């Protein structure tokens, strides 16, 4: 569906701490979009510290896509 919209997307996978990696990745971007697990540690707050950091420090618009309630898959890197 996105492919047919004419929007150019450049997905990237980078290893490292999320906040600095995303801060660097947004330089020169038209949009930074990423998902969140809502695991920020504050009850009722669905976005975590990484989302908050990106929203406040990104040099481009940011879209944060929350995980559906009760449907969070946690993937832990080795």
What is the rounded CA–CA span in Å between residue 40 and residue 47? 6
Is the model's pLDDT at 17 over the cut of 80? yes
Q: Give the pLDDT of residue 78.
A: 41
Helix, strand, coil content of the chain in percent (nearest 5): 25, 15, 60
pLDDT tens digits, one per residue of 37-64? 755 555 545 557 888 888 888 899 998 8
**For residue 58, what are the contacts with CB-CB under 8 A and spacing of at least 6?**
22, 23, 26, 32
Q: Which two tokens stand for residue 9?
A: 């997307």
What is the rounded CA–CA span in Å between residue 61 and residue 39? 22
Pick the CATH number of 14-66 from 3.90.1010.10, 3.90.1200.10, 3.40.50.620, 3.40.50.170: 3.40.50.620
């Amino acid at each position: 569906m996105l492919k047919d919209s004419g929007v150019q997307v450049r997905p990237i996978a980078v290893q490292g701490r999320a906040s600095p990696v995303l801060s660097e990745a947004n330089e020169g971007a038209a949009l930074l979009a990423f998902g969140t697990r809502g695991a920020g540690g504050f009850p009722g707050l669905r976005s975590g510290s990484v989302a908050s950091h990106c929203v406040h420090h990104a040099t481009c618009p940011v879209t944060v896509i929350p995980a559906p309630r009760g449907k969070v898959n946690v993937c832990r890197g080795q």
